[in-house]
């Protein structure tokens, strides 16, 4: 494990819970790791697994998908669909040889700023253990 | 076994019906170990139809293509039924189409054929070399008899049959309107031994294997085109706005193409192995699909293409789905 390596985590947060949770962490002056790049989506069910592949292609070392707790989805069932989707995607990437520690999923509600901070720490730690994502990152081709 | 005359007679009867537009089946190819797909639109065309162990193609693929044909301006769409000959594995594709509402049950006529297995061109070519003659093959018991234009050769079943047939659990069509021949008995169980074997490798070994395989890919999209389940009018890999996978054939884009193709078939793949058969670069595509099938069976106890009343896996949910991976 390389201690100097700072991974980039792309986080897809749902507008109603996790994004508000991240906002709470900020307004409560909690210090969370700066490795995370947040993309707000309306629901975790909105996240197409191609987003995840594309993030890994463009140089992310880890991905985090976060939504409302099961049963609390603003759209009633979006996070249930997301859960099915990403458990399969994770297995598939594992089969291809991508470290499953790079793909994280969590439930963070709007009142869980501290949990959000912990989740980011765990995701960064997971990506640090896996090392830089080089397997199918887009390489610059000079003709 | 199916009597060819009976098969042709049933096809002739079906196409003579006023409400049937065409019949999809197989006819003898011009060379090699695989027969050609056939479309019967007139009763007299039915005489060319055959069925034996060379009928590898999955005619269920054509049903969705015929169904979605664009209608020229000013013309009425053809609302007649489509008839299709299916083996056991092909019938699963039809069932899965019905689950996904690709077409309605009343719009198709399914002619079921119990199947003893079909031959794998690659295995046969390894044994006998390429054949310039159309080969006939007959499967009976543990032996397969190949007929090279009069010259007869007999081999063991496992030497020449496709992998999917050696682990086939549905030799008889799951759904059919007209059943031909007599039902054959199921001879194997599928324990996913090949997938479990691959899973034992370390992540680096897995990636080393796939890096080699994916870098061979020329992105001809034959695997997608032949797949009975890939019937989107606008496929995500050829879409330009947004363009999720670029068209260059480097390892990054190829990997993403294969991952997303396998993922789009998660909980839908009926294991007809057409993708692997048509691959010009011999990429073991089914290994990815079978991994998904195995996980779907273990985690969700779901098997695609078996129950026409089932719900599509990824368009349904259960509050008790596994979530131990969630942080």
At A2 the pLDDT is 63
In Å, how far is A77's CA from the nearest CA of chain B?
8
Percent of chain B with pLDDT over 90: 57
Which one of B251, B291, B327 has the shortest CB-CB distance to A136?
A: B251
At B83 the pLDDT is 94
Tens of pLDDT along B140-151?
878 888 888 888
Domain that holds residue B63: 4-71+79-179
Which one of B205, B318, B327 has the shortest CB-CB distance to A122?
A: B327
Instruction: Convert B18-50 to b/e letters by CB count within 10 Å (16 or more is b).
Output: eebbbbbbbbbbeebbbbbbbebeeeebbeebb
Find chain A residues with C-beta within 8 A of B258's C-beta: 96
At A15 the pLDDT is 94
Is residue B222 domain-shared with residue B100, that is, in the same domain? no
Domain assignment present for residue B325? The answer is: no
The whole model's pTM is what?
0.92
Nearest CA in chain B to A70: B319
Unique residue bearing structure tokens 């890994």: A56
Identify from A100, A136, A139, A141 which residue to disrupt to test chain B contact, counting B C-beta atoms within 10 A and taking the largest count.
Answer: A136
Is residue B90 domain-shared with residue B172, that is, in the same domain? yes
At B258 the pLDDT is 94
Average pLDDT over residues B305-326: 88
At B202 the pLDDT is 92
Query: What pLDDT band is residue B110 in, cutting at 50, 70 and 90?
Result: very high
Domain assignment present for residue B186? The answer is: no
What DSSP character marks residue A3? T
Domain assignment present for residue B233? The answer is: yes
Domain assignment present for residue B316? The answer is: no
- Hey, are the CB atoms on B199 and A122 less than 8 Å from each other? no
Is residue B65 domain-shared with residue B138, that is, in the same domain? yes
Q: Which residue has the higher pLDDT, B323 or A54?
A: A54
Unique residue bearing structure tokens 């031959």: B119
From first to last of its 143 residues, what are the pLDDT tens digits of chain A? 666 889 999 999 999 999 999 999 999 999 999 999 999 999 999 999 999 999 999 989 999 999 999 999 999 999 999 999 999 999 999 999 999 889 999 999 999 999 999 999 999 999 999 889 888 888 876 66
Tell me the HSE value of B85 on the side-chain side, using a 13 A CA sphere. Answer: 33
Q: Where are the domains of chain A?
A: 9-130
Q: Which helix (H) or strand (E) holds A115?
A: helix A113-130
- Hey, are the CB atoms on B319 and A107 less than 8 Å from each other? no
> Of the residues B138, B155, B179, which one is the last residue of a structural domain?
B179
At A29 the pLDDT is 94
Is residue B140 domain-shared with residue B217, that is, in the same domain? no
- Hey, are the CB atoms on A96 and B259 less than 8 Å from each other? yes
In Å, how far is B321's CA from the nearest CA of chain A?
7
Q: How many independent structural domains does chain B possess?
A: 2
Is residue B22 domain-shared with residue B147, that is, in the same domain? yes
Q: DSSP 3-state assignment of A69?
A: coil
Q: DSSP 3-state assignment of A58?
A: coil
Tens of pLDDT along B233-257?
888 998 888 888 888 888 999 999 9
Q: Which CATH class is domain A9-130?
A: alpha beta
Judged on CB neighbours under 10 Å (0-12, 13-18, 19+), B319 is: exposed
Average pLDDT over residues B263-277: 92
At B226 the pLDDT is 93
């Amino acid at each position: 494990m390389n201690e100097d390596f700072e991974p980039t985590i792309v986080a897809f947060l749902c507008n109603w819970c996790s994004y508000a949770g991240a906002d709470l962490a900020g307004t409560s002056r909690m210090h969370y790791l700066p490795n995370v790049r947040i993309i707000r989506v309306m629901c975790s069910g909105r996240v197409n697994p191609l987003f995840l592949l594309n993030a890994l292609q463009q140089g992310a070392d880890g991905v985090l998908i976060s939504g409302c707790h099961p049963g609390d989805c603003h759209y009633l069932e979006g996070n249930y669909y997301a859960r099915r989707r990403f458990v399969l995607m994770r297995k598939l990437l594992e089969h291809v040889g991508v470290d499953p520690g790079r793909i994280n999923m969590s439930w963070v509600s709007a009142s869980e700023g501290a949990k959000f901070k912990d989740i980011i720490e765990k995701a960064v730690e997971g990506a640090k253990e896996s090392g830089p994502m080089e397997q199918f990152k887009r390489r610059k081709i000079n003709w | 076994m199916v009597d060819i005359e009976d098969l042709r007679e049933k096809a002739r009867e079906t196409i003579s019906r006023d409400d049937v537009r065409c019949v999809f089946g197989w006819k003898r190819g011009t060379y090699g170990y695989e027969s050609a797909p056939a479309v019967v639109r007139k009763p007299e065309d039915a005489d060319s139809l055959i069925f034996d162990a060379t009928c590898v193609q999955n005619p269920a693929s054509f049903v969705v293509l015929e169904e979605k044909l664009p209608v020229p301006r000013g013309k009425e769409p053809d609302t007649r039924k489509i008839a299709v000959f299916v083996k056991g594995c092909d019938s699963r594709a039809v069932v899965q189409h019905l689950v996904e509402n690709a077409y309605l049950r009343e719009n198709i006529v399914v002619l079921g054929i119990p199947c003893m297995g079909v031959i794998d061109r690659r295995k046969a070519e390894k044994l006998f070399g390429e054949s310039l003659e159309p080969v006939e093959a007959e499967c009976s018991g543990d032996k397969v008899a190949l007929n090279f234009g009069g010259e007869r050769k007999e081999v063991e079943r496992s030497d020449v049959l496709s992998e999917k047939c050696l682990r086939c659990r549905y030799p008889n069509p799951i759904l059919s309107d007209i059943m031909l021949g007599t039902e054959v008995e199921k001879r194997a169980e599928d324990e996913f031994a090949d997938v479990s074997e691959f899973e034992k490798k370390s992540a680096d070994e897995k990636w080393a294997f796939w890096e080699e395989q994916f870098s061979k890919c020329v992105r001809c999209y034959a695997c997608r085109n032949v797949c009975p389940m890939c019937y989107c009018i606008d496929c995500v890999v050829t879409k330009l706005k947004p363009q999720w996978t670029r068209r260059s054939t480097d390892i990054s884009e190829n990997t993403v193409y294969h991952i997303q193709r396998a993922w789009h078939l998660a909980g839908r793949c009926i294991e007809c192995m057409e993708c692997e058969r048509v691959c010009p670069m011999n990429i073991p595509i089914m290994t990815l699909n079978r991994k998904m099938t195995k996980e779907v069976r273990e985690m969700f106890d779901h098997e695609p293409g078996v129950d026409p009343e089932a719900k599509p896996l990824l368009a349904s949910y259960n509050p008790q789905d596994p979530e131990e991976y969630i942080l």
